[in-house]
Amino acid sequence: MTTTRYVSGNRPVDDLYGDLAAANVQPLWEMNDLLTSEPRPSTMPFRWKAVDLWKLATRSGELVPVEGGGDRRVLAMANPGLSGAPFISTTLWAAMQYLLPGEAAPPHRHTPAALRFILDGDGVSTTVDGDPVGMARGDLILTPSWTFHAHLNSGPSPMMWLDVLDLPLVGTLEAIFFERGQSHDPHVSPLRSSAERLYGQGPGLVPAGRDAPTGGPVHSPLTVYRWADTDSALDALLEVNGSNEATLRYTDPSRGSDVMPTLRCEMTRLLTESSSVATRQAGSRVMAVLNGEGRVDIGDQTFSLDRGDVFVVPSWSTCRLHADTTLDLFTCSDAPVLEALSLFRSEVVKTR
Amino acid sequence: MTTTRYVSGNRPVDDLYGDLAAANVQPLWEMNDLLTSEPRPSTMPFRWKAVDLWKLATRSGELVPVEGGGDRRVLAMANPGLSGAPFISTTLWAAMQYLLPGEAAPPHRHTPAALRFILDGDGVSTTVDGDPVGMARGDLILTPSWTFHAHLNSGPSPMMWLDVLDLPLVGTLEAIFFERGQSHDPHVSPLRSSAERLYGQGPGLVPAGRDAPTGGPVHSPLTVYRWADTDSALDALLEVNGSNEATLRYTDPSRGSDVMPTLRCEMTRLLTESSSVATRQAGSRVMAVLNGEGRVDIGDQTFSLDRGDVFVVPSWSTCRLHADTTLDLFTCSDAPVLEALSLFRSEVVKTR
Amino acid sequence: MTTTRYVSGNRPVDDLYGDLAAANVQPLWEMNDLLTSEPRPSTMPFRWKAVDLWKLATRSGELVPVEGGGDRRVLAMANPGLSGAPFISTTLWAAMQYLLPGEAAPPHRHTPAALRFILDGDGVSTTVDGDPVGMARGDLILTPSWTFHAHLNSGPSPMMWLDVLDLPLVGTLEAIFFERGQSHDPHVSPLRSSAERLYGQGPGLVPAGRDAPTGGPVHSPLTVYRWADTDSALDALLEVNGSNEATLRYTDPSRGSDVMPTLRCEMTRLLTESSSVATRQAGSRVMAVLNGEGRVDIGDQTFSLDRGDVFVVPSWSTCRLHADTTLDLFTCSDAPVLEALSLFRSEVVKTR
Amino acid sequence: MTTTRYVSGNRPVDDLYGDLAAANVQPLWEMNDLLTSEPRPSTMPFRWKAVDLWKLATRSGELVPVEGGGDRRVLAMANPGLSGAPFISTTLWAAMQYLLPGEAAPPHRHTPAALRFILDGDGVSTTVDGDPVGMARGDLILTPSWTFHAHLNSGPSPMMWLDVLDLPLVGTLEAIFFERGQSHDPHVSPLRSSAERLYGQGPGLVPAGRDAPTGGPVHSPLTVYRWADTDSALDALLEVNGSNEATLRYTDPSRGSDVMPTLRCEMTRLLTESSSVATRQAGSRVMAVLNGEGRVDIGDQTFSLDRGDVFVVPSWSTCRLHADTTLDLFTCSDAPVLEALSLFRSEVVKTR
């Protein structure tokens, strides 16, 4: 028997239940909690401390070669609510990737989309479909679905960064394709990638006549967003809004949409000694502390926050931030998926 | 410990693995098959025989009241590859719903979208947001996300029909909301629903000035597609194409898109003594035999097909149909989800 | 001198004005009414009587061969406000086309889009990109931009129908292209065109896998909307709305949009002894009486209406209909153009 | 008689023609050139010299107060092909606006969309819906449809800039609305407008949660594009392309579309001693020389080009540029209109 057999305690019903199970059929009326009035996520609120991640990554660097399985030295944050699966939520994968000086992670591509957010350090370049992109603190780098990507540490120090992928979602859709690329000689990243020179020069300025082939994969042609721009944009937004909290969205400059069809990226600045409004939204969010110290309330739990910490906010869980010093928080969510499917909801939650 | 602990056989590495698990972290390099060159679906090919489903439904009708858990007498087809979960694939729920004369399933609504396809019989009406829709053989009825719906059997016979929902997908997105509605007195369905009178009169004819409120849920305002129309459209399409196989798509007449953002519905007619081309596509498909006899090859398995049978085609599995007598096959897939996320692929597979 | 020279009466200013004109430059400050608080259309309200159009068409049929200039025997309604231009408004061309038994108008195509609305008679078929479409009273036939089209009268009687084109608009855009097609032997129209068999079978039913090539011209693949469908849809809409006035929009069944990018088509039924609400909208409208008698107020003018009459409602002019007997009115407007350019406005006007 | 009366020389036909004219009807078969194989634009190629425009503007400043008709001191370039109309093409208005130190052009708004391109000087600020925007050489400033705008010269020198509007097109659509705004005290423009601080900080960075109200006017929220950004983006594009010619498109950073629904803006850099490819496109283009010297071939005419010159390229006329010194050319076209209506065509023209 391959499916669940239910038991009622009533003999003829149990006979029926046996025959149902034998036929790979299950009775809805015995299932609890299939349809709940609000989401009851398996994903649990959780925070990983930067200090722990760095220690574990450093030990991995000493013990495990980058050439191992998966061609990457990656530590996946495994949500304690997901029965041992290596996912930070039911839709998102989040991990720390660690590369020693001189090491290279060879090119490959896959249908799951990925991004890299740099919480510390520099020296690594990521090559996206042949275009090398230098990575430094505060930068967001995209390696969209089915683009070849490789990493090379040509700097003098180990480097660790945050990877976020839509891998669990694409896995659920049973749509994972993967391909190895051609290895290239290590090469130094130029000061600016071609993507930046084509799409990263100024707001609203795009090359004429470079329309993406219709029907092709849809993602931002700009594969890196530099911290200097983000930092000054956050200051300007705070100034215009006259508030203590500002959130920027990273968008595809050729479409105005989210950077990739499955992942929304945002950066929030919350000024020192202030608290954000409490909100909740359908779908899950991974957040990482680029700068500052404080704490976050998620549902009825509170986690302290230090620079480099990563945490997950489950679906429909109320989230509120408190800054002891000015917090800069990177957020990646699956909101574009829920929006595309008419399933997105969000609201401000009243707090005392 | 709440997460998976890996073992390497090497002592310092195993110490690291212990500390990783303690920190809810997992090493990518120990995971196999996370990224496969092509989809390796958990979903298995499977077919449920109409004769079995009818017998089991009839016994359920005798033993189990409709007022039980879930307010519906529903038999879920549970894919043998999904570890006992009550889902026909990782994204789709498919079930037979059974209602005795005089029985009513009370109104509720939920974020998972549903459709009803009638493989046999009539006598039940489904009320969608207050609009009663009669159901008869070959009809497709939509109860889109967050619309209130109830069922009432005012006919003289038991009736069984196929339900398909995107429940597993919405569950994975942790976006399930549910609400009970107000019970209404049983009432007889008028000959035609308001939806049909507004949107179902003629191709391309829609009421002026009835634009849906922007930002609201996006789904077809036409909630029923009648078999008489589908039947003659299939004949016409076969005639124009001059082929032995024709497929119609059910669409939202106000947008031209799929009927609902997560579910694609199609009807295929394959003429007697002919075979379809072999195809495969990313994402899963539920198919049901409205008319005819034949068989289907899915991957390297073959299933005989009789009227009323239901089967599932897993992602990227090659599917080919053979008609002994003219087959009419209803298909519901998650293709709109994959398309919205730039993950859809399909191809014709060469067969000898 | 090729441009306007202004005169002020002040000598040095007039010297300047002379030099401006010599340089093909004009002073804004001398122009009146360039920017008005509301549209002041050149287009005047006007109505052409069916009885006159029939008489003139019949005489043209006796005197003028169809093989003459333009390959069509067409009588253009020339708005009295447009200085003798052969246009019914600044954006729309409306005309009566007249074809004797056995006559054929040979195939050609042009970038201006056209439609044919049949106010009376039958016997002619229009071939659209090779697909013959029979024409009968109350039908709407599309010959979209850059589709080859020809007309053939294979019936026993002369036939006259209403042509509406976006010709003045496309002329203003200086985007008129034109090409003659290959002449074919006269042939009888089948009972139903291929377009109808593919897209005209039932609401929301479209052939799967027939997506239009992206980047190609965008128009409805359904090139004929039959009166029987429209008639019953109007009745159903009146019944559901419980009102004395109903308006249907003809739409592209594959997109849900207007039938063509430049022309909106609608049909209004106003029940006997009732009046419509008074409305006005930016852009111009051509209307034609398919059935009934009554009158129309346009601005401060009133025109009697009989079966077959055609009239024009200028931009932002208040329009109100009064039915002596039930009126069926076809409307063609340039509203999709104004909507695409964010220039559309409409409002209900209060009347005493 | 209000319409054209045709004459054939044949008595009964002329009698018919008289009756047609009396009925405001015209015979298609007598009209020549209504449908031409390719566009035959009325718009003629023409170039206005900067030196002439400056002289005329300076004299206007001496003789005509800014408070005159239209509240603006504006010199409209009148195409010699348009029978004295003050338009540079059938769809576009182009003019030089001139403001003396201390002068202000009071706030108003209108449905025609406008842009300001600064060919020389600075000192004026344009206030767009209350947000003051400083203007300097090479900047592009938008005052989209129905936004209030005013100009103030708070600098020490007269300033002249190029205005381009879609006024003739909106006039043809008979959709001109106009409204005066409240006068405000003159005020100095801050270093950067709110629009720049919100949308002009970095490519792809936009404020989260600032979605435009749906159904509202659609235009770029960024109302100024600074020359420093454009200049470096042109250099980067030339470098990546490795060519001697580069064209950037100005886009709406929140949508990726053209800056306004009716006007496309681009900037082309053509390196010294080189020639562009020859192209033609449906619809008309206004071009202005920001930097450099050279010449342009339009159809079979050639015009010399100096800094500050303005010229018009009629629809479907072959256009080729030649740079004696590196040319920077601003282009404004009606291409978004033609694209929205499926009427756009363009092609490279082979030259010897």
pLDDT at C212: 52
Which residue in chain A is spatially nearest to C215 when comparing CA positions?
Answer: A214
Chains near C, with 3+ CB pairs < 8 A? A, B, D
User: Residue B214: is its pLDDT beyond 80?
Assistant: no
pLDDT at D191: 73
Measure in Å the smallest separation between the Cα of D260 and chain A Cα atoms: 12
pLDDT at B217: 64
Mutate to test the interface with A, among D133, D142, D201, D270 (most CBs of A within 10 A): D201
d(CA D269, CA D244) in angstroms, rounded, equals 8
State chain C's mean pLDDT as an integer: 93
Q: How many CB pairs under 8 A join C and D?
A: 276
Question: B 203-232 residues with CB below 8 A of D?
Answer: 214-215
- In degrees and rounded to multiples of 5, residue D247 shows phi and psi of -130, 130
List b or e across A285-306, with b for residues whose CB sees 16 or more CB atoms inside 10 angstroms.
bbbbbbbbbbbbbbeeeebebe
Contacts A208 to D, Cβ<8 Å: 247-249, 266
User: Residue C41: is its pLDDT beyond 90?
Assistant: yes
Tell me which range, B191-195, B198-202, D292-296, is most confidently predicted by mean pLDDT: D292-296
Which residue in chain B is spatially nearest to C207 when comparing CA positions?
Answer: B248
pLDDT (mean) for C19-39:
94
pLDDT at B201: 85
What is the percent of chain B where pLDDT is above 70? 95
User: Residue A56: is its pLDDT beyond 80?
Assistant: yes
User: Residue C43: is its pLDDT beyond 90?
Assistant: yes
User: Residue A186: is its pLDDT beyond 60?
Assistant: no
Rounded (10°) angle between helices B50-63 and A11-22: 160
User: Residue D62: is its pLDDT beyond 80?
Assistant: yes
What is the percent of chain D where pLDDT is above 90? 85
Please say whether the beta carbons of A127 and A150 come within 8 A. yes
Residue among D250, B121, B10, D189 nearest A254 (CA): D250
Give the DSSP letter of residue B30: G
Contact across the interface for C28 and D76, Cβ inside 8 Å: yes
Is the CB of A91 inside 8 Å of chain B's CB atoms? yes
Contacts B214 to D, Cβ<8 Å: 214-215
Q: How confident is the model at residue B303 (pLDDT cuts 50, 70, 90)?
A: very high
Contact across the interface for B70 and A20, Cβ inside 8 Å: no
Contacts A214 to C, Cβ<8 Å: 214-215
Contact across the interface for C283 and D175, Cβ inside 8 Å: yes
pLDDT in tens, B328-344: 999 999 999 999 999 99
Close Cβ partners of B321 (under 8 Å, ≥ 6 residues apart): B268, B270, B275, B276, B294, B295, B296, B305, B327, B329
pLDDT in tens, D142-196: 999 999 999 999 999 999 999 999 999 999 999 999 999 987 655 556 778 899 9
Contacts A48 to B, Cβ<8 Å: 23-25
Contact across the interface for C39 and D176, Cβ inside 8 Å: yes
Contact across the interface for B177 and A283, Cβ inside 8 Å: no
Q: How many CB pairs under 8 A join B and D?
A: 3
Secondary structure element (H or E) that encloses residue C233, with its range: helix C227-241
- In degrees and rounded to multiples of 5, residue D333 shows phi and psi of -135, 170
β-partners of residue A96 are A75, A162
pLDDT in tens, B122-162: 999 999 999 999 999 999 999 999 999 999 999 999 999 99
User: Residue C117: is its pLDDT beyond 90?
Assistant: yes
User: Residue C343: is its pLDDT beyond 60?
Assistant: yes
Amino acid occupying residue A263: L
Measure in Å the smallest separation between the Cα of A177 and chain B Cα atoms: 5
User: Residue B188: is its pLDDT beyond 70?
Assistant: no
pLDDT at C239: 93
Q: How many CB atoms lie within 10 A of CB C342?
A: 19
pLDDT in tens, C157-199: 999 999 999 999 999 999 999 999 987 654 556 778 899 999 9
d(CA B211, CA B58) in angstroms, rounded, equals 43
Nearest to C202 among B233, B240, B254 (CB): B233
pLDDT in tens, A241-273: 899 999 999 999 999 999 999 999 999 999 999
Nearest to B35 among A84, A176, A262 (CB): A176
Is the CB of B83 inside 8 Å of chain D's CB atoms? no
Q: What is the ipTM score, two decimals?
A: 0.95
- In degrees and rounded to multiples of 5, residue B347 shows phi and psi of -160, 155
| Range with the poorest average pLDDT among A343-352, B180-189, C218-227 | B180-189
How big is chain C by its Cα radius of gyration, in Å? 22
Beta strand D122-128 pairing with D149-153: antiparallel
pLDDT in tens, A115-169: 999 999 999 999 999 999 999 999 999 999 999 999 999 999 999 999 999 999 9
Q: Where are the beta strands (DSSP E) in B32-177?
A: 46-48, 74-77, 93-99, 104-110, 114-117, 122-128, 131-136, 140-143, 149-153, 159-165
Which residue in chain A is spatially nearest to C211 when comparing CA positions?
Answer: A215
pLDDT at D282: 98
pLDDT (mean) for A33-41:
94
State chain D's mean pLDDT as an integer: 93
Q: How many CB pairs under 8 A join B and C?
A: 144
Q: What angle do CA C294, C297, C301 make, to 5 degrees?
A: 120
pLDDT in tens, A275-309: 999 999 999 999 999 999 999 999 999 999 999 99
Chains near A, with 3+ CB pairs < 8 A? B, C, D
pLDDT at B187: 54
Contact across the interface for A215 and C214, Cβ inside 8 Å: yes
Distances (CA, A) of D150 to C29, D125, D179, D185: 16, 8, 12, 11
pLDDT at B22: 96
User: Residue C325: is its pLDDT beyond 60?
Assistant: yes
pLDDT at A212: 52
User: Residue C214: is its pLDDT beyond 70?
Assistant: no
Give the DSSP letter of residue D193: -
pLDDT at A208: 87
Which is higher by pLDDT, B325 or B69? Answer: B325
pLDDT at D68: 72
Chains near B, with 3+ CB pairs < 8 A? A, C, D
Which residue in chain B is spatially nearest to D214 when comparing CA positions?
Answer: B214
Measure in Å the smallest separation between the Cα of A217 and chain C Cα atoms: 15
pLDDT at B21: 96
pLDDT at B216: 60
- In degrees and rounded to multiples of 5, residue B14 shows phi and psi of -65, -35
Residue among B181, B257, B177 nearest B219 (CA): B257
pLDDT at D189: 61
User: Residue B228: is its pLDDT beyond 90?
Assistant: yes
pLDDT at B352: 64
- Which class for C291: exposed (0-12), middle (13-18), buried (19 or more C-beta within 10 A)? middle
At A50, is the secondary structure helix, strand, or coil? helix
State chain A's mean pLDDT as an integer: 93
Is the CB of D249 inside 8 Å of chain A's CB atoms? yes
Residue among A42, A183, A45, A163 nearest A112 (CA): A163
User: Residue A190: is its pLDDT beyond 80?
Assistant: no
pLDDT in tens, D216-272: 668 899 999 999 999 999 999 999 989 999 999 999 999 999 999 999 999 999 999
Report the Cα C69 to chain-centroid distance in Å.
22
